[in-house]
Amino acid sequence: MTTLTLSPDQTVGEIAAQRPASVRIFEAHHIDFCCGGRIPLSEACGKLGTDPAALLEEIERAAASAPDDPTDWQSASLPSLIDHIVNTHHIYLKSELPRLEAMLDKILSKHAEKHGDVLTPLAATFRPMKEELGSHLMKEEMILFPLIRALAAGDKSTFHCGSVRNPIRVMLMEHDSAGDALARLRQLTSGFTPPEDACNTYRAFYYELSELESDLHRHIHLENNILFPRAVELE
């Protein structure tokens, strides 16, 4: 992997793409590196009162250690990146979203009377997000990803949508919608902190919601900051 000097003028998304280890740092500082990754690091740090130079130093220290995923997705083939996204993140969502909804139904049946002020709006946010993500995954797997695979193979005969930019534009809007829902879930749950009287299912649900947030952030980052820009550039 080519080592490039990072700058506060780069967008958060660009830094996340160049230094995969930065994702852990951004998560720790609550800096949005996926849907909100289109702003310069200096601006993101300014909103939090964080020194961008100090944050870049922290990122470089993290990058010097073994990353969670050693694959350089900036140079890997687009089909292999798509395979990774589907096999790692899409499969996870298809399994976890129904399981989390079942847990939510159980919690609502037991705790709605006492914690309805949180659980009712939480359900009103989670359920539409789940439905939209299910449709989103299908559109990616049935429409966009085959187009990108064809583009990588040099075959444009299947480009009925005119340009790969068109379905990408739709996916970006749906990513923003998912990002807004995640932010709302984090706000409603006070950072996924269960109440003191929460049962084990209630606590497990909040933990799994936190895991879902982390996975979706990494999932959307790979698409917004790496897959989509590379597909557009290739076209």
Checking phi first, is residue 39 left (phi over 0); if not, alpha (psi -120 to 50) or beta? beta
pTM of the entire predicted model: 0.82
Euclidean distance between CA atoms 107 and 220, whole angstroms: 29
Q: What is the pLDDT of residues 192-209, one digit of tens each?
A: 999 998 888 899 999 999
Which pLDDT does position 42 carry in this prediction? 94
Query: What angle in degrees, to the nearest 10, is found between the helix axes of 165-188 and 200-221?
Result: 150
Please check the confidence at residue 67 and state whether its pLDDT lies above 60: no
> In sequence order, which residues have a C-beta less than 8 Å from that of residue 146 and are 6 or more positions away?
158
Select the more confidently predicted residue: 8 or 4: 8
If one counts every other C-beta atom within 10 angstroms of the C-beta of residue 210, the result is 16
Sequence-separated (6 or more) residues with CB below 8 Å from residue 49: none
Give the separation between CA 125 and CA 222, rounded to whole angstroms.
Answer: 24
pLDDT (tens digit per residue) in 110-126: 998 899 899 999 999 99
pLDDT in tens, 70-89: 678 888 999 999 999 999 99
Query: What pLDDT sits at residue 1?
Result: 42
